[in-house]
Structure 1
C-alpha cells in the first residue's frame, strides 16, 4: 500500500536542492488534501489505512467521524477519543457561562446560508424556517453553522434564511430587508438581535453595483439602529482572526520553489507584517478542533480540525447574542473592546476571548 506522502512525491517533481522544512510543509498540506479527497468527509473505519506518515498534529487538523477507529498500532500514537473529548467543549469560557445558567433563553438569532437539513434531532426544536425552498443537497455547511450556534446558545431560537447563490447579491439584500421588516412586528421579545453570515455580506469576489452597495449600507444601518447586529466576514475581519501564525506557517499553500528565493523572502516579510498587525489588533477565535452536526435524522457528528471563517463567524455571533442578554444594545465594536479587556493569551501572545470574564464585568 502506498502512503499518502509517496503519492504526493510521485505527483510533484520536486527539485533536488530544496529547503527540507518547506518541502515537508508543502507535502503535509497536500497530504491533508489528499486524505480528505480520498476518504471524503466522514471517514470512520481507518484500520486498513496507512497512517504511518501522518503526524499527530496533522491528524488533529483533519476531518473525521466522531466514532472513527484506528488499528492497534496507530491507536498507540494517535488518541482519537482525546481529540473528541476536547472537541465536545465550547471553550472561550462558554461552558463556565452555561454552568452559571446563561443559555440564551428568550434570544433570537438569524442565519443566512445555503440549504439546511431541518430534520436533525440535535437542533430541530430551536429552528424557525423563513424559506420554503429547503435544499435536498447533502451539504454540511448550514448544519454545522446552526449546530455551532445551538451549542453556544442552546436555548436561543435560530431563524434560518436560505440564500440563493445564483443571485447572491440581490438575495442577501432582500434577506436583510426581510429580517428588518420581521423585527418591526415586535417591540422587544421575539426580535432577531444578531444575524450571522458566514461569508461576505455581498459575497466576496462578486461585483456589486453602486445601488446595491447603497442598499446594503442603508439596511445595515437600519438594522443596527434597531438593535440588530450583522456579522459577516467583512465585519469579522476588522476585529477577529481565525488561526495563529503557527497554523499559517505549517500549512502554507505557497509552492515556494516555483517563484524563487527573493519572492519567497518578500512573501515571508509581508506575511510577518500581516501576522504582527493581526496579533496587535485582533482577537483569536479559532473554529477548528470542534464537533459539528451533519445532516440526518440521527445525532451524528464529525470532528473538523481545520480553522475556517465559516465556523468562527457563528461562534462570535453566538457570543454577541449571549452578551446581548445582559447588554441588549452592545455593538460589535463594543463587544470587541470588552473582549480585549477580559481576554486570555495564547503561547504566541494572541488575545483570545473569555466569555465568562466578559459576562462578569
Structure 2
C-alpha cells in the first residue's frame, strides 16, 4: 500500500505543468526559507487569506493531438492510468465496441468524445453519479447537516483556489515548502471530496488549506522523503486555530499520506499531531485508524450500499471484515484544469478515502461539538452495514460506513 501512495505522489508531481503563476506578495517570518524550487508563503500578521493563485493545469500533453487508437485495459495488471483520457480528443475514433475498456477510463470535462460510443457508456451520467458522495449523505445535507461552522484543514499539493466546488468554503490558502507551480491534480480532488458543494461530504465546512511538498528531489532525480515540513504545516494549523473564535475552530486535519517507515523526520509529525490533539484537532491520515476504501461500478447508484465492492487496489486480498469501509473509487471531483472543470477517477486509492472520513468527522462535530475521535469511531463501527457479495471467496463484505445512521445516532447522544 505504501508503495502505491509513493508512486501516486511522485506521479502527481510529474504531471504538474510548469507555466508561471500569479503571486501575491506577503511578509514572511524571518525563519521562513524560500528557493526557486520550494515556496513558503504565509498570511501576513495572521490575517488569513489566499497568498497565491496557481494557474490551472494543462493535461493536453497526456494524449497530444487527435488520438488514433484507444488503449486496452488489462485486468491482470496493477498499473494505474491504463485508460487515461483526460483532456484528450477521441473524436476520430469508433468506440462502439470498446465498452470493457472505457468502463475503466479516467476522463475530464475537456475530454472530447466521438459520436460512436458503446451502448450503456454515458460519460455525463458517469460523472454525475461520481459527484454524489453517496450512502445517503445528500439526505443529511438536506436536513442542514453540512459541517457548517466547523473548520476542516487539508495539507496537500497545489490548489486551484477559485474552483467553484470549494471557493466559497476556502478561508485560507498558504504554502510551506511547496514545489508546485501550477495546481496539481491531488489538491482539488481532496478538497472537493471533503467540502465540495456538490461532491463533498461536508459542503459547508470552512476549509483551511496548506500546500506542502513532503521532501525534495536529489541530484539523481530521486525523491527523498522529509516530513519536517509536514510537521511544520500541522503546527501552523494549530497556530491559526488559536486565532479563530469559538464556534469556528478547526476540528480536523486531512492528510492523504501514509506516515512512518523510512520517511525522514516522521517522528516530528507525530509530535505535531499530538500538539494538534491537545488543541482539540483530530488529524486523519492514511493509517490513522482501521479503515479501507471501496470500489463502485461507475454505472451503479452511489446511494445504494449494494453498489460497492472491495477497493480496486486490494481487490485480490482476503478481507476479514474488521475495518470500516469508505467510498473511494469511481469518484468525480474538482479538476485542476479549470475552475468549472471536473474529472472522473476510476481508481481512487486511499488518498480519496482520507478527506471523506475528515468530512464525516466534521458532520459529527456539527451535531455534537464535544465529540471525540474515539466516540466517532465507536459509533461508526456500530452503525455500519454488511452486504452479501457474489463471485468471491468471501460471502460478505463489511463494515461499510452508514453516514445517515452514524450521524443520527451521534446526534441522539446525551
TM-score bin (small chain): 0.7 to 0.9
Q: How has the CA–CA distance of structure 1 residues 325 and 144 changed in structure 2, closer, same or farther, with 3 Å as cutoff? A: same
3-state secondary structure, aligned to 2:83: helix
Which structure's residues are more often strand, by fraction? Answer: 2
1:131 is the counterpart of 2:175:
yes
Query: Which of these residues, 330, 335, 340, is aligned with residue 371 of structure 2?
Result: 330
Closer, same or farther in 2 for the Cα pair 1:33/1:130, shift >3 Å?
closer
Relative contact order: is structure 1 or structure 2 higher (C-alpha 8 Å, sep ≥ 6)? Answer: 1
Distance apart, 1:247 and its partner CA: 3.6
* Distance in 1 separating the partners of 2:323 and 2:167: 34
Q: Who is 1:305 aligned against?
A: 346
Partner Cα distance (1:308, 1:104) in 2: 24
Confirm or deny: 8 A CA contact 1:152 1:319 kept in the other structure.
yes
Give the Cα–Cα distance (whole angstroms) in 2 for the partners of residues 176 and 239 of structure 1. 22
- Unpaired stretches in structure 2, ≥5 consecutive residues: 1-67, 217-225, 296-308, 390-396, 410-414
8 Å Cα contact 1:109/1:321 also seen in 2? yes
Instruction: State the alpha-carbon separation in 2 of the partners of residues 246 and 155 from structure 1.
Output: 28
In 2, the alpha carbon distance for the partners of 1:292 and 1:34 equals: 19
Indicate conservation of the 8 Å contact 2:94/2:116, yes or no: no
Deviates more, 1:91-100 or 1:122-131: 122-131
- Give the structure with the higher percent helix: 1
Determine whether 1:160 maps to 2:209.
Answer: yes
Post-superposition offset of 1:42:
3.4
Deviations for 1:164-199, whole angstroms, at most 9, x for unmatched residues?
A: 333541101111112222223346233211000011
User: 1: CA distance between counterparts of 2:256 and 2:311?
Assistant: 24
Q: Which residue of 2 aligns with 1:239?
A: 291
Which one of 273, 279, 287 corresponds to residue 226 of structure 1? 279
Give unmatched runs, 5+ long, in structure 1. 9-23, 253-270
Q: Is the 8 A contact 2:386 2:400 kept in 1?
A: yes
CA distance in 2 between partners of 1:82 and 1:224 (Å): 41
> Structure 1 residues 288-297 or 65-74, which shifts more?
65-74
Q: Which residue of 1 aligns with 2:104?
A: 61
Number of residue pairs the alignment of both structures matches: 307
Q: Which has the larger radius of gyration?
A: 1
Q: Is the 8 A contact 2:152 2:206 kept in 1?
A: yes
Write the distance in 1 (CA, Å) between the matches of 2:76 and 2:182.
33
| Counterpart secondary structure, 2:203 | coil
Q: TM-score, normalised by structure 2?
A: 0.66
Alignment of 1:43-58 (within 5 A): 43=88, 45=90, 48=93, 50=95, 52-55=97-100
Matches within 5 A, 1:192-211: 192-201=250-259, 205-208=262-265
Tell me the C-alpha RMSD between the 2 structures: 2.9
2:192–2:333: 8 Å Cα contact kept in structure 1? yes
User: Which residue number corresponds to residue 21 of structure 1?
Assistant: none
Tell me if structure 1 keeps the 8 A contact 2:153–2:207.
yes
Please report how far the alpha carbon of residue 323 of structure 1 lies from its aligned counterpart in structure 2 after TM superposition: 0.6
